[in-house]
Structure 1
Amino acid sequence: KIRASYGQTGNNYVGYYDALGRYAISTMYQGEASIVPSSMPNKGLTWESSTQLDLGFDLGMFNNRIQVTADYFNKVTDNLITSKVLPNTSGFSSILTNLGKVRFYGFDLEINTRNVVRNDFSWSSKLVMSYVKNMVLELPDNGRDKNRIGGYSVTMADGSKLEFGGTAEGEPLGRFYGYMTDYIIANQEQADNALYDSQSRGWDWTKKNYVTGKSGTSIGKKAIGDYEWKDLNGDGIINGSDMYLLGNTIPTFTGGFGNTFTYKNFSLYIFMDWAVGHSISNNLLQRQMCNFFANNTSLPTEMRKAWDPEAGQDVSEAKYARFGGNDSDDLNKNFRPASNVFTTKGDYLCLRDVTLSYVLSNSALKKAMIENITFTLSGNNLHYFTSVIGMSPETGTSNAYSTGFYTYPPIRRISFGLKVTF
């Protein structure tokens, strides 16, 4: 059976008063209470609209022992409702408005099979897969390359300009950027020749003091054991202009595979799912390695992989730069900035659900007016096969690509159930 559909839907995703200007009671002015504008009105704010084309087919084979459902979708969303940053001269930080057009496209596939069908034993399977891509089609004309909103504008050593990051026409959503490590500084010569790093405090690990050069200041200096970052624009300075593309937050390919086995009164269900093709910034590990709270927190086992020259370790054996207390404020910012150090593939395979059931039904129960009793033992979120360190790869912060420290991971649950049918 072949299917096709085409339609348009809308949504507003806004509060009752978001299109209106609002006022707020502010601080005292000359002994009197003051009321000031708190948000800029936008009476032109309108619905988002999504136009979607779906093409698919349903296929049954071998007396429906194999059933296939496949769908292709192409969805274009126009008039996206988003917050636009305003210049300071407006008196407001942002305004809620309609901006741009985005396309989402891909396919969904579902395959159901009855592998074995016998009197006392059966085995059936279900496979689901999705492939999704997106692309920004249109943004308001702002004079920048690809009408880019946000992101970075970098002047290269040859005078040319490079713009990247943010949201731009012809680019997918979900990209994120950060510093890229070049190497770990292993000797004093490398430290003396290190690029000026605008974030570094210039802490000397050996002398337990701040480095001071000819300028008399330690800011920007590096020491043995620090990261040397790659200089994107070649100006000899490491700063916000040296951001590299680290990855994309949105999985390209997701799916799941389930199997149900039955033998007489027993039933076993096993389901696994996966997501691949995206990257994760491990905020939890980053925060631990920064050691924000110094002596008040336990340290991650990954700390053992930081370079320790005093123990005679060669720099080539180290996974991380030298470790120290409160790197975020007092040291050389090896772990503080977004970088490839804490970026990893977000791919995972999860043993999501295992359920074992037994149905008890006999004449004694029927005499007690009980049809049957079902005993169930189940486990959820039992194990992840992943390279993500520390927590579940599905645990996010406000940045969807990060394994975070503000939210709990999906709970691993073991449960027992009893169901009585009369």
Structure 2
Amino acid sequence: MRTSLSYTSSDVLEQQYVSRKLQASLNLGQANIDDNTATTWLVENTATLHRALGRQHDLTLLGGFTAQQTDNGANSAQGVGFTSDLLGYRRLNLADQVTGSSNATRQRVLSYLGRVNYSLAGKYLVTGTVRADGSSKFAANNKWAVFPSAAVAWRLSDEPFLRRLIPAVSELKLRLSAGSTGSNAIPTYQSLAAWNVGAPYAIGPTAFFNGATLSRITNPNLRWETTVQYDAGVDLGLFGNQLTVTADAYDKTTKDLLYAKQVPYLLGFASYVTNIGRVRNRGLELAVDTRSASRGLEVRLGGNVSLNRSKVLDLGGDRQFFLTGSNTSLPRWENDVIVQVGQPLGNFYGYVWDGIFQSSAEAAASGQAGAVVGGDKLRDVNGDRKIDSNDQTILGNAQPRYLFGLTGSVTYDRFSLSVLVRGALDFQVVNVSRAGMETPGGSSNMLTSVLGYWTTTNPSNSMTALNVSPFDGLTSRWVEDGSFVRLQNVTVQWDVPERLGARVGVRRLRLYLSGQNLLTASRYSWYDPEVSSRGTSDLTLGWDDSNYPGTKTVTVGASVGF
């Protein structure tokens, strides 16, 4: 029997005052007080029974349940319009205008689980698992779902015939598995209707009243997102496991995807969370490691590579839908991500950029509305001699086709050196940051490349004229190759001899120097291709809108044992 209980709590209080002397407060003075709380408790109870049935059979049974509750609260108050900066947020009631808001949410998950492990002669392995999960986030009739899984393995290296045929094989195991898992990764209360109060409306020419508007509709069918996955793999060890190879292939289909579906604004709200469609992911993973040791010198080298291909199978009867993200930089884009049946997730959608119009005649003959000399030139993709939404096309994809990693370590006596290199190939990033700083106009900073703007004496084909408004839509001009190779980690260690450590009163002393994110090789023009302003889901990757890049860190330290 095993029982574990965990409890976490946080309370973050933020108090801020913007002086009347600063432009940000519009010479009024502004105070903000925000108090955010979060508590989570988790109880896990399991019971395990192990039985050895004779000399060949081994059986392990496990059963149990888990319960989790998370409470979040937020209280905020704002005051605008202070006659003095003396007291600030300490006397919020002195402001000309005081507003406040509060919010509280609770979510619960209850799970029952069971697992059976069976081994025959240590060579034939079978595992079966089932769990039932209930979540408060879903509708009343769909809170519960059952997720079974099973796995079998055959350790061929323990078979006498293989040892005779191939003595170099020290480990060989074949694996097959199939199973399902669930996701409830949505905000709370999405199955319930919600109203916004305080919406003003008029009766007659002078009478105004506060009313309520529907901000979310009821969804009694909201349920668990379910993923069914099949795996096949092999583990191979040669020459006493000096060379090991692990290979896996998987086929994963996710149905009833949880997604905030956009709806016409005439309904009074922009979207609602629902289950929609199916997506399939197929991939391969390969890892190779080697180990060699001689006369106190040990060398380890390893590498891994993975490739994944996603495909949208169904969108609940729709052929496609679009996503629009908020950009702080210009241009302001709409419908710039497309989710389409038969296509992978993460596709950017827009116009192909063909440079700059070099003459008024070229602009007039383009069929592009608002075309002027020195302005953006778009490609007539469908060849109908006009530029419209039918010329939009897929401009790139945010999902890397290949991920890889390389590891190496050398140990000699008390010294060790380890290196990690990783990378991603064949994917694109939308450089919203560059779009904002290569768009002439406004009061923000510009890149020096803007100095090469188009003029009659400098007929640039890469930078528009200063007096020309940029095309207000996503084009291939801002889509860049994000492929990179990164020196992720280098660590050097020295275990100080015990006789030297004893002089300073320690039993064990290890000195180390470590560097993280030391070097990145990429054709991407901005700071870091491995960013995403819109989130980390498969639908929102690949947008760099003034993201803070990954930091380079060098650490010097010591590990001491007394």
CA distance in 2, matches of 1:123, 1:15: 49
Q: Deviations over 1:210-239 (max 9, x none)?
A: xxxxxxxxxx1401x333211234454434
CA distance in 2, matches of 1:304, 1:411: 30
Q: Deviations over 1:96-140 (max 9, x none)?
A: 1111111111011121111x3123322101212111011111222
Pairing 1:140–2:287 present? no
What does 1:176-325 correspond to in 2, within 5 Å? 176-197=348-369, 220-223=370-373, 225-291=374-440, 293-294=442-443, 296-297=444-445, 299-303=446-450, 306-307=453-454, 309-310=456-457, 313=458, 315=459, 318=460, 320-324=462-466
Indicate how the Cα distance of structure 1 residues 124 and 68 shifts in structure 2: closer, same or farther if over 3 A, else same: same
Selected match of 2:190 from 8, 13, 18: 18
CA distance in 2, matches of 1:319, 1:110: 46
Deviation at 1:31, TM superposition (A): 4.9
User: Does the 8 Å contact 1:358/1:376 carry over to 2?
Assistant: yes
Partner amino acid, structure 2, of 1:409: P
Indicate how the Cα distance of structure 1 residues 186 and 319 shifts in structure 2: closer, same or farther if over 3 A, else same: closer
Matching residue of 2:75 = none
Indicate how the Cα distance of structure 1 residues 283 and 372 shifts in structure 2: closer, same or farther if over 3 A, else same: same
Worse overlay, 234-243 or 245-254: 234-243
Partner amino acid, structure 1, of 2:559: K
Specify the SS of the correspondent of 2:372. Answer: coil
Partner amino acid, structure 2, of 1:331: V
Specify the SS of the correspondent of 1:287. Answer: helix
Partner amino acid, structure 2, of 1:321: M
Specify the SS of the correspondent of 1:10. Answer: strand
User: Does the 8 Å contact 2:193/2:216 carry over to 1?
Assistant: yes
Deviation at 1:300, TM superposition (A): 2.1
Matching residue of 2:469 = 332
User: Does the 8 Å contact 2:351/2:392 carry over to 1?
Assistant: yes
Matching residue of 1:400 = 541
CA distance in 1, matches of 2:555, 2:499: 29
Aligned residues: 368
User: Does the 8 Å contact 2:366/2:386 carry over to 1?
Assistant: no
What does 1:77-226 correspond to in 2, within 5 Å? 77-114=254-291, 116-142=292-318, 147-150=319-322, 166-197=338-369, 220-223=370-373, 225-226=374-375
Normalization by structure 2: what TM-score?
Answer: 0.61
Deviation at 1:91, TM superposition (A): 3.9
Partner amino acid, structure 2, of 1:354: V
CA distance in 2, matches of 1:139, 1:187: 45
CA distance in 1, matches of 2:463, 2:367: 16
Matching residue of 1:352 = 488
CA distance in 2, matches of 1:222, 1:43: 53
Partner amino acid, structure 2, of 1:123: V
Matching residue of 2:553 = 413
Specify the SS of the correspondent of 2:214. Answer: strand
Larger Rg: 2
User: Does the 8 Å contact 1:222/1:332 carry over to 2?
Assistant: no
Matching residue of 2:245 = 68
Q: Deviations over 1:325-361 (max 9, x none)?
A: xxxxx72315x53111121211110111111122212
Specify the SS of the correspondent of 1:33. Answer: strand
CA distance in 1, matches of 2:421, 2:499: 38
RCO comparison, higher one (Cα < 8 Å, 6+): 1
Partner amino acid, structure 1, of 2:406: F
CA distance in 2, matches of 1:250, 1:256: 17
Partner amino acid, structure 1, of 2:305: M
User: Does the 8 Å contact 1:27/1:33 carry over to 2?
Assistant: yes
CA distance in 2, matches of 1:333, 1:264: 63
TM-align CA RMSD = 2.4
CA distance in 2, matches of 1:86, 1:301: 42
CA distance in 1, matches of 2:456, 2:411: 59
Selected match of 1:4 from 170, 176, 181: 176
CA distance in 2, matches of 1:127, 1:343: 30
Partner amino acid, structure 2, of 1:240: S
Matching residue of 1:204 = none
Q: Deviations over 1:165-216 (max 9, x none)?
A: 732222211111222133433344434544333xxxxxxxxxxxxxxxxxxx
Deviation at 1:89, TM superposition (A): 5.0
Normalization by structure 1: what TM-score?
Answer: 0.80
Partner amino acid, structure 1, of 2:276: L
Matching residue of 1:156 = none
Specify the SS of the correspondent of 1:270. Answer: strand
* Structure whose residues are more often strand by fraction: 2
CA distance in 2, matches of 1:392, 1:292: 26
Which runs of 5 or more structure 2 residues have no equivalent in the other structure?
A: 1-172, 202-206, 324-335, 535-539
Indicate how the Cα distance of structure 1 residues 417 and 368 shifts in structure 2: closer, same or farther if over 3 A, else same: closer
Partner amino acid, structure 2, of 1:132: N
Specify the SS of the correspondent of 2:343. Answer: coil
Specify the SS of the correspondent of 2:400. Answer: coil
Pairing 1:42–2:231 present? no
Q: Deviations over 1:37-94 (max 9, x none)?
A: 2210101111111111111010001111111111111111111111222344544432
CA distance in 1, matches of 2:268, 2:478: 38
